[in-house]
Amino acid sequence: MKKTALAAIASLMLASSISVGSVSASSKTYTVQPGDTLYRIATQYKITVDELKRLNSLTSNTIRVNQKLVVENKATTSKTVSSINSLQDSKLPTAKPNIQNSVTNNSALMNKVIDTAMPLQGIPYLWAGVTPAGFDCSGFIYYVYNKAGVKVPRLDTIGFFNRSVFVTDPVVGDLLFFQNTYRPGISHIGIYLGDNKFIHAGDKGIDIASLDSSYWNLRFMGYKRFRDIN
């Protein structure tokens, strides 16, 4: 009789433990503010953009003001359940995050990118332009990087976005991406000069702009680097 009672109590305690673990699972959320980007939010909470998108089942980089995003997912479970989950997870392949935390070792190449880009100031804007007769924003990137020795194909801003990885420590020569300029989503690209400045093909042609500008700051998505550069 005692054994039966003890077994019943043990079962009840185990059930309670599992139940408490499930109830205590919690998610930390963040409400999107004007000017926010996935890159900024991910950096603030020390996670990657890919992880932030996974937590929120996002299929694009577009977010809206007042949208609630999960930025941290904590779950307290019993040791038994945790052990089972750990065993299951160990059998799954680990995906590498789409982010580089270290600065590039190829500083000479990045300086060459800047040396190629700077003399082009004043060249007019030309839709689909890829020569010194005129550039659009992606054509400017294509021309400059190829002249500097990085052989990249002629792509639009989305193509260049997909060919690059986010960096947390940008250096001169890295890329900057912007969204919601002349169209929704990824729509503009420039080359970082340091001190919050970048060179790009804008409406006024090739010129230098600043992230301190309210227009660019509001639309800034983040710094990236071509996969071709180590």
**pLDDT tens digit string along 164-223?**
999 988 999 999 999 999 999 999 999 999 999 999 999 999 999 999 999 999 999 999
Question: Which of 188, 219, 224, 225 does the annotation list as catalytic?
Answer: 188
* Alpha carbon distances (Å) from 89 to 26, 55, 84, 117, 227: 20, 17, 9, 47, 29
Residue 227, pLDDT > 50, answer yes
Phi, psi of 72, deg, nearest 5: -160, 135
Q: What is the mean pLDDT of the segment spanning 108-133?
A: 96
104 against 198, higher pLDDT: 198
- To the query of whether residue 188 is one of the catalytic residues in this protein, the response is yes
- For the purposes of burial, counting CB atoms within 10 Å of the CB of 190, is it exposed (0-12), middle (13-18) or buried (19 or more)? buried
- Find the catalytic residue in 42, 55, 63, 137: 137
| pLDDT of residue 66 exceeding 80 | yes
How far apart are alpha carbons 1 and 13 in whole angstroms?
18
- Phi (first) and psi of residue 156, to 5 degrees: -90, -175
Q: What is the mean pLDDT of the chain?
A: 79
> What is the number of other CB atoms lying within 10 angstroms of the CB of residue 145?
24
- Higher pLDDT: 180 or 63? It is 180
Cβ neighbours for 131, distance < 8 A, ≥ 6 positions apart: 143
Q: Which domains does the chain have, with CATH numbers?
A: 2-91 (3.10.350.10), 107-226 (3.90.1720.10)
Nearest residue to 211 via CA among 193, 185, 184, 229: 193
Select which of 55, 123, 178, 200 is catalytic: 200
pLDDT in tens, 172-183: 999 999 999 999
Q: Which of 95-104, 105-114, 140-149 has the highest mean pLDDT?
A: 140-149
Rounded Cα distance, 26 and 7, in Å? 31
Lowest mean pLDDT among 65-69, 132-136, 140-144, 170-174: 65-69
The whole-angstrom separation of Cα 2 and Cα 209 is 80
pLDDT at 211: 95
pLDDT at 17: 42
Strand partners, 73: 27
**Of all helices (H) and strands (E), which one includes residue 29?**
strand 26-31
Q: Is 200 a catalytic residue?
A: yes
pLDDT at 74 over 70: no
Strand pairing partners for 186? 179
Please enumerate in sequence order all residues whose Cβ is within 8 A of that of 34, keeping only pairs 6 or more positions apart, or say none.
65, 218
Rounded to two decimals, the pTM is 0.59
DSSP label of 103? P
